[in-house]
Amino acid sequence: MSRSSVATVTLLRGVDLAPAPWKNGGGVTREIAAGGAALAPPDAFAWRVSLADIAQAGPFSRFDGVDRTLVLFEGAGLQLDEVRAAAEMPHATHRLESALDIARFAGESTIDARIAAGPVRVFNLMVRRGVAHGALEVWREAGRRTVCAQTVLLHAVQREVAVSVAGEGFIALAPGDTLRVDAGQAMNLKARGEGTLLAVTLDIART
């Protein structure tokens, strides 16, 4: 962890993420970061970001009141059949066929996952509705960007990339590493290298 004049910066190494098996045995989750206790355990988060290895077809766990975003990282493909809880909303099918394809759905929906051929790995963003706000973008090109959020997570995929926060020195990220930046104000971020970043901005509602 390091501090600049505008932010606290923490490097989270992918190799240090501890695996936790799913209760149904269908996969493994590695939590990257979580923030803001919202409810009593086991749902004590306002937002949560993790990696998941899906080993077999089957249902997803239900998270009422949580908006979810999944990004396909590795594997031959993933299909999510969504039965939405709201009767007036039609059912949907999300097909993630190529790396960095994205699916967004409500946590209270019934989700049945099917994998095309062998295990897949996904990036998983969960944000509790009305408690926090989160957004995810794919940054495929190097360059300078200005971001304003309480917390920014920059997750490296595919190739190495280096990031500078507020004009400070560059921090190298290998695929699977995440740079966490806590600032709560506008900050300049600069990326260089051939890698791709998943950029997640997170804000917890003030009470």
* Domain identity same for 199 and 172: yes
For residue range 138-168, what is the model confidence (pLDDT) as tens digits? 999 999 999 999 999 999 998 999 999 999 9
Cβ-in-10-Å burial (0-12, 13-18, 19+) of 35 comes to buried
User: How far apart, in whole angstroms, are the C-alpha atoms of residue 87 and residue 89?
Assistant: 5
* Domain identity same for 73 and 149: no
For residue range 8-26, what is the model confidence (pLDDT) as tens digits? 999 999 999 999 987 667 7
Give the chain's domain count.
Answer: 2
Provide the whole-model pTM: 0.90
* Domain span including residue 103: 18-130
* Domain identity same for 94 and 51: yes
Mean predicted confidence (pLDDT) in 72-96 = 83
